[in-house]
Amino acid sequence: MTGDFVRAENLSVNLGGKTVLSGVNLGIKHGEFVTLIGPNGSGKTTLVKCLLGFIKPSAGSAVINTRRTGYIPQSYTEKGGFPATAGELIKSAGISAGMKSSGVIISREKIMAELKISSVLNKCFSDLSGGEKQKTILAMALIKKPEVLILDEPNLNLDPHAYAKFLKLADSVHKKHKITVIFVTHMVSAMPVSSARVVVLKKGGIYYDGKAAPLFRKKNVMEEIYG
């Protein structure tokens, strides 16, 4: 674990007088694709927010060994208030990461083509479909050339078809950009097939950490994860 690119050591978090995470140990190597799965309220979002430094641990530590992180939060749609076009949002994400205006335009064109959203360049973010919004947010993360990409429940805003396409996209982004991906979901059925490693969080602790196949060979796995 020491020396891992992303790590939580003996991590505990109390929020509002409640223990949300307790004694979590997790190490992720550069370039891994990890799915973090667990029922609602098991502490997944709290764990990724700790890793990103948004929430302070009550005990232990949580770090990502780079400042180049891309984070797609669970609840961006609830925040609303995006009066800008998709193109403007992606551009300003690049500018805020310190890129020059000319460089941003070239990168934006490439990324929008890669994500197949070139056609929404001049469309207002609020008018986009769920899938287009999700990809615009992904493009805002990718333009900063992140070393780690954290996707928190990207299934929540998408219909099954759009989500299936988004899973493929997450996989190709991982391979093409050689970035570490932490993919968070509460649904076993929403798990990317490409994920080599699954971490199951239950009641604020790690219940399973390993390959997907042995986990799903277990008897009563659903009851064990969600029960």
Ligand X SMILES: Nc1ncnc2c1ncn2[C@@H]1O[C@H](COP(=O)(O)OP(=O)(O)O)[C@@H](O)[C@H]1O
Binding site for Mg ion (CB under 5 A): 44-45, 74
- Provide the minimum distance between the beta carbon of 45 and Mg ion in the complex, in angstroms, as a whole number: 3
Q: In angstroms, what is the minimal distance from the CB of 149 to Mg ion?
A: 16
Which positions touch ligand X (CB under 6 A)?
A: 15-16, 18, 20, 38, 40-46
43's contact among Mg ion, ligand X, none, with CB below 5 to 8 A by partner kind, is: ligand X
* Minimum gap (Å) between residue 15 Cβ and ligand X: 4
Task: Give least dist CB 42 to Mg ion, A.
Answer: 8
First to last CA, the chain: 29
Q: Could you tell me where the DSSP H helices lie in 15-100?
A: 44-51, 76-79, 86-96
Residue number, 19 or 194, with CB nearest to ligand X: 19
What does 40 bind: ligand X, Mg ion, none (CB cut-off 5 to 8 Å by kind)?
ligand X
What region does 14 belong to: left with phi over 0, alpha with psi -120 to 50, or beta?
A: beta
- Taking the least distance from each CB to Mg ion, the nearer of 74 and 118 is 74
**219 binds, options ligand X, Mg ion, none, Cβ within 5 to 8 A by partner type:** none
The item of Mg ion, ligand X, none sharing an interface with residue 46, based on CB under 5 to 8 Å by kind, is ligand X
Question: Which of 146, 184, 112 has the alpha carbon at shortest distance from 31?
Answer: 146
- As measured in angstroms, the least distance from the Cβ of 21 to ligand X is 8
Q: With CB cut-offs between 5 and 8 Å by kind, which of ligand X, Mg ion, none does residue 16 bind?
A: ligand X
3-state helix, strand, coil in the chain (%, to 5): 40, 25, 30
HSE value, Cβ hemisphere, 13 Å, CA-based, for 34: 24
The whole-angstrom separation of Cα 69 and Cα 52 is 8
Q: Please, what is the Cα angle at 105 between 84 and 107, to 5 degrees?
A: 110
